Amino acid sequence: MAGRVSGFKLENEFGWRRFRIRPLWGVEAKALPTEEKVLTKEEIREAIWEKMTKQNVARFPGALGRIPNFIGAEAAAARLDEVPAWREARVIKANPDAPQRAVRHRALKEGKRVYMAVPRLRMLKCFLELDPQRLGKKIYEASSIKGSSILGRPVTVEEMPPIDLVVCGSVAVSRGGGRIGKGGGYSDLEYGLANEAGIVSARTITLTTVHPVQIVPDPLPLVPHDFPLDYIVTREEIIRCGERYPEPRGIYWDDLSAARISEIPALALLRERRSP
C-alpha cells in the first residue's frame, strides 16, 4: 500500500533508527507500509528531492542526486548577518555547491577568508584558499566552483588556519541539528580531516542554508562520523539548533575501505603517518 511520508516517531529512546511513518509529509512514497518501518538516509533524500521537484522550488539542474539549489538561496544568505557567529567569523570553510554560492560571495564581500574543498578531495592540497584581499574585484567569480579552481590557492589542510565557521550544503536537516547530505560522504571527511589537523573542534560553529521544505522532524538516522548543525538559515527564519546529536571525533578509519583511503591523498598520508 502506498502512503504519504510525513515524519518520524522515535520508537526507542536510546536509538536513532526505529521510526513510525505518519501520513502528513506530502510526498508520495512507493510501497511503504503503514506499520513500523526503518527509514534510511537514502529514503529521506529521495523524499526531499521528490518534494522539491513537485513544489517547483528546486533550481536548474534539478534536485535529484545533488545538494539541491533552491529558490530563495540568496534571501537565506542575506539573513546571515542575524547570526552572531557569522558576524564574528573571519575564516570560513565552505562547501562548493551552487545553493551556497551566495553565502561564499557574501563572506568574501565582508572580507572573510574562505576555504573550499577540491572536488572529491582528489589532490593532496585538497582545499582552495580564497583571500578577498588578493582577489580584488574578482570575488564574485571566485565564489563559483569554476572560478575558485582558477583563482583559489591550493593548500593542504595543515596549511589552513583555525576555522571560525563551517558552512555546508544539505539535502535534509532537522531542528535538533541533524543533517543529511547527498550521500558521497565528502563533507564528513573534510570535517574529519580538519578535526584531525586541529583547526575545527566541537566548539566550531556549523551552519547551512536550505529551503523550508528541506526541514524534517527529528530524529534523523545519523552515524558517529556525521557532524551536527548549530544553525539552519532559510529565507523565512533562523533556527538555533539544539544539541541532540553528538560531535564526531576525527576520521573514523573503520568506516573507510582501503580503496577509499587510497583515492584521497590527504587520507592516505594521514594514515601513513599514524601507522606504527
Please report which confidence band the pLDDT of residue 134 belongs to, taking 50, 70 and 90 as the band edges. very high
pTM: 0.86
Arch. (CATH architecture) of 64-276: 3-Layer(aba) Sandwich (3.40)
Listed by start position, the domains of the chain span 3-54, 64-276
Please report which confidence band the pLDDT of residue 31 belongs to, taking 50, 70 and 90 as the band edges. very low
Strand pairing report for 8-10 and 165-168: unpaired
Greater pLDDT, 258 or 1 = 258
CA Rg value for the chain: 19
Cell output for 237: 527564519
